[in-house]
Amino acid sequence: MFSGVAQCSECHRIDADATRFSDDSYHHSGIGAATQSKTLSQLSQAVMTANLDASQLGPKLLTDSAWSALGRFAVSHQPADIGAFRTPSLRNVAVTAPYMHDGSIATLSEAVDHEIYYRGFSRGRPINLSIAERQALCAFLTSLTDAEYRDSATAYDGANRR
Ligand code: HEC
């Protein structure tokens, strides 16, 4: 299902050694789009005017959720990149809640539900899965957990997983 019907592997790519499940490209996710639209023009203008270099931009994006919601645009200043984020790895995804760039989704099954809905919506072809198939997809993602990583409290800082 992951690489077939639901085509998750289009972005969460399965490379030869199946290590990362990412294409290292930027895609829209629909997360945060509603709050963004209200202030979008002033905000994108402010980002372009400030034109921060990489050393200033990193700290700014980590502390300002309005800026980070702009996604790749904060770096590229290309309008098409507004709200586009790099495909995250799915390694250890079952033990790295909360989900999405802003942590707005609490559980893995809700994150999978969002992805099934949004990816089908953006392709114009809904992904129709039964409850059992959704559960199988979650079970597959849970199988990507490294027991040593899961059991090590210090490794679980969320920072190393992307
Ligand atoms: C068009 C590219 C694309 C496709 C297809 C896609 N994803 Fe994603 N996925 C992303 C991106 C980009 C994000 C990060 C979005 C964000 O942070 O706002 C993401 C986030 C996730 C997350 C949350 C990961 C985390 O650590 O926060 C899960 C789980 C996930 N996807 C599962 C799936 C599943 C299951 C499918 C198939 C139904 C799928 N994705 C299809 C691009 C894609």
Clarify whether residues 75 and 125 are in a common domain.
Answer: no
More confident call, 19 vs 62: 62
Instruction: List all residues 6 or more positions away from 49 whose beta carbon is below 8 Å from its beta carbon.
Output: none
Picking from 39, 70, 86, the residue at the C-terminal end of a domain is 86
CA dihedral 34, 133, 150, 119 (to 10 degrees): -30
The pLDDT of residue 162 is 43
Picking from 86, 113, 128, the residue at the C-terminal end of a domain is 86
The Å distance, Cα 115 to ligand 1 centre, comes to 6
Condensed to tens digits (0 to 9), the pLDDT of residues 79-102 reads 999 999 999 999 999 999 999 999
Residue 159, domain member (yes or no): no
Ligand 1 pocket test, candidate residues 115, 125, 161, most atoms within 8 A of CB: 115
Across the range 117-136, mean pLDDT stands at 96
Clarify whether residues 123 and 96 are in a common domain.
Answer: yes
Greatest Cα pair distance in the chain = 50
Omega prior to 98 cis, within 30 of 0: yes
Picking from 39, 67, 86, the residue at the C-terminal end of a domain is 86
**Alpha carbon 134 to chain centroid, angstroms:** 19
Across the range 112-126, mean pLDDT stands at 96
Residues of the chain with pLDDT > 90, as a percent, come to 80
The Å distance, Cα 118 to ligand 1 centre, comes to 9
Q: Is the CB of 71 under 6 A from ligand 1?
A: no
Clarify whether residues 12 and 35 are in a common domain.
Answer: no
The pLDDT of residue 139 is 97
**Alpha carbon 92 to chain centroid, angstroms:** 14
Cα(63)–Cα(158) distance, rounded to whole angstroms?
A: 16
pLDDT band of residue 34 (cuts 50, 70, 90) is low
**CA dist list (Å): 153 to 132, 145, 150, 157, 162:** 32, 14, 8, 8, 18
Residue 133: domain span: 1-25+88-150
CA pseudo-torsion sign 64, 66, 72, 73 = negative
- Number of domains making up the chain: 2
Residue 128, domain member (yes or no): yes
Residue 145, domain member (yes or no): yes
